[in-house]
Amino acid sequence: MINIPKGTKDVSPFISYKWHYLEDAVRKTAADFGFTEIRTPTFEHTELFLRGVGETTDIVNKEMYTFLDKGSRSVTLKPEGTAGVARAYIEGGYAEYPQPVKMYYLTPVFRYERPQAGRLREHHQFGVELYGSASPFADAEVMILAKTLFSRLGLTEPVLNINSIGCPECRKTYNAALREYLGNNLQNMCASCRERFDKNPLRILDCKEPGCRKITAGAPRTIDYLCDDCKSHFEKLQSILRAAGIEFKVNPSIVRGLDYYTGTVFEFISDAIGAQGTVCGGGRYNNLVSEVGGKPTPAVGFGMGLERLLMILENLNLPVGEPEIPVIYIAPASEADAEKAFELVNALRSKGISADSDLVGRSLKAQMKYAGKRGYKFTAVFGGAEEESGKIKIKRMEDGSEYECAVSEMAEVLK
RNA sequence: GUGGGUAUAGUUCAGUUGGCAGAGCGCCAGAUUGUGGCUCUGGAUGUCGUGGGUUCAAGUCCCACUACUCACCCCA
């Protein structure tokens, strides 16, 4: 027996309708906000992620599925969706189309990690990317899109946390202030924080070690060191969100784990799915396009974990769609009627009515049992009597009521 | 990479001081020959995760390995 690779999941034929439900809601919402779909390859040159995501990040350092192909090129299964979109934006000359360019994607992403609740090695993300606008309205637009999707799915719960980590200019003065503050306490912090001190001190704010938390509790906050531009951008964003009636809280400890973020960062956090509560994370990344070889282009977007989203819906007993079962099951009355019933089913299908019939030679009673369990809305028995009279009784399984009509008119009746 | 828990039928799980492998759910069939859900009857399905050890005897005790799972780190 060969089993499924660690950290991956099948979507069985009995639950795939839940994914269709989610994906339909996602596509509809994205379309309503003026975003159109972009599809990029499942793997890219490794170099793209090194430069795009950042060489100091955990994703790049220890989580990528990287291998040499048969031509000795180093390629990597995408660990996130944004870098590939940036590459496509540059390579496809999207900057020559009317700006801003608003894109969304649905894609599998791959990270080599220890799986746990809400974390897989292959998971699926819905993401949006808005290129060519530096306005805080663009930041707000992607946040409102996410919030709208949640509401449409019946969710009030994931809380929007926002922060600003500043542009490279404010980052310089902030890092200096943070290092100065931490300097004396450095020997009391955990090993990884001591490492972060040199490479990326900002990340220390995100540490969950109780000892480090104590120390960072009074640490300088990025929002207190923003330059004038970043400050007014962040304030304007908040007033836009308030005007839109979007609840949020400013959370100075949100710093995000990807190096491309500048300025606004945000997460939608749920407490319905255990330790991995971030269902959506994103922000602004004005340096990404130039970092991977394009002209400087302001951009903002987010990634949303679909497995986590589905888990939240199920844990909160919210609707997750309906099984996709044909409208009607036609039962041959006896073995002799199998051929005629088979023809009838195919005639209905050719008129656009979804229908099924017996494929295993079961008794009529057993067929009804099957139809009941599988959840067909209607059933009808087809046999000698129906063939002679040209009439058939359509039974509504919900309440057992029957409606008689001509066999030749079935398709119209079922519509 | 680090730590805890678990591993028995398709699935959820019992299995006592070591003594014939079990239940619920599901699946298949039937309950006077053309109608489901309820009920009843019958049936199929096991390398007890793998390998070793102790013992007259191991699902049960010991060791190793593997897988799964939760948590840390980090992230969706």
Q: Would strands A36-37 and A248-250 be described as parallel, antiparallel, or unpaired?
A: unpaired
pLDDT band at A374 (very low <50, low <70, confident <90, very high): very high
Each residue's pLDDT tens digit, A144-168:
999 999 999 999 989 999 999 998 8
pLDDT band at A176 (very low <50, low <70, confident <90, very high): confident
Comparing every residue's Cα with the C1' atom of nucleotide B68, the nearest one is A6
Task: Report if CB A204 to strand B is under 7 Å.
Answer: no
pLDDT in tens, A297-320: 999 999 999 999 999 999 888 999
pLDDT: which is higher, A276 or A9: A9
**Quick one: pLDDT at residue A208?**
66
* CA–C1' A12–B45 (A): 21
Q: In the structure, how far is the CA atom of residue A162 from the C1' atom of nucleotide B64, in angstroms?
A: 50
Output the CA–CA distances (angstroms, integers) from residue A74 to A35, A69, A108, A291, A341, in the order listed: 32, 7, 20, 20, 57
pLDDT for residue A182: 81
Report whether pLDDT(A260) > 70: yes
Q: HEC string of A161-221?
A: EEEECCCHHHHHHHHHHHHHHHHCCHHHCCHHHHHHHHHCHHHHHHCCCHHHHHHHCCCCC
Residues A190-236 pLDDT 10s:
767 777 777 777 777 776 666 777 777 778 888 899 999 999 999 99
- Is it the case that residue A7 has pLDDT exceeding 80? yes
CA to C1' distance (Å), from A147 to B25: 39
Q: Which domains does chain A have, with CATH numbers?
A: 16-167+227-315 (3.30.930.10), 328-414 (3.40.50.800)
pLDDT digits (tens, 9 = 90+) for A82-117: 999 999 999 999 999 999 999 999 999 999 999 998
Higher-confidence residue of A6 and A88: namely: A88
The ipTM assigned to this model is 0.87
Per residue in A112-138, pLDDT (tens digit) is 999 998 999 999 999 999 999 999 999
Q: How confident is the model at residue A61 (pLDDT cuts 50, 70, 90)?
A: confident
**What is the residue-averaged pLDDT of chain A?**
91
CB-CB contact of A193 with A207 (8 Å): yes
Does the CB of A244 sit below 7 A from strand B? no
Nucleic chain B contacts, protein chain A, residues 24-53, CB cut-off 7 A? none
Q: How many Å apart are CA A191 and CA A312, to the nearest integer?
A: 34
Give the pLDDT score at A210. 66
Q: How far is CA A312 from CA A8, A127, A235, A320, in A?
A: 19, 18, 31, 10
Q: What burial class does residue A40 get, using C-beta atoms within 10 Å of its C-beta: 0-12 exposed, 13-18 middle, 19+ buried?
A: middle
**pTM as predicted:** 0.91
Residue nearest B29 (alpha carbon to C1'): A366
A381 strand B contact, CB < 7 Å = yes
Residue A349 is predicted with a pLDDT of: 97
Per the structure block, which two tokens stand in for A244? 């839109």
Residue range A65-86: mean pLDDT, rounded = 95
**Number of Cβ atoms within 10 Å of the Cβ of A338:** 16
- Between residue 123 and residue 182 of chain A, the positions with Cβ below 7 Å from nucleic chain B are 123, 125
